[in-house]
Amino acid sequence: MAKTFSEDLAEDFKNLYETKERYDTIITVGKEPNVKSIHAHSVILCTRSPYFRKALSDDWAKRKDGNFVLSHPDISVLAFNLILGRLKKS
């Protein structure tokens, strides 16, 4: 059975996330010893989430070496992965 355009596009975005190619956002979550830095793409996050649209705006976002940098030690790695998974299904 042939894939639909939206299935192909979803697979392309998944591959982009997994390879970390051309990321422009680094989100650090968790507390020691369970800290993880996640590399993501602001355009996708902002398109999928009102929270990230605000968090990555000029009013909130910090930049370092050309990347948006967010730190959320109060969110566990597991919880953040669930949040990202939910964004994919919205």
**22-74, pLDDT tens digit by residue?**
899 999 999 999 999 999 999 989 988 999 999 999 888 899 999 999 999 99
Which pLDDT belongs to residue 90? 41
Q: Which domain holds residue 10?
A: 5-89
- This prediction has a pTM of 0.77
Burial class of residue 26 (count of CB atoms within 10 Å of its CB; 0-12, 13-18, 19+)? middle
CATH number assigned to the domain comprising residue 84: 3.30.710.10
Domains held by the chain: number: 1
Which pLDDT belongs to residue 16? 73
Token duo for residue 19? 């390879």
Which pLDDT belongs to residue 21? 75
Helix (H, G, I), strand (E, B) or coil at 68: strand
Which pLDDT belongs to residue 71? 94
Token duo for residue 79? 């919880």
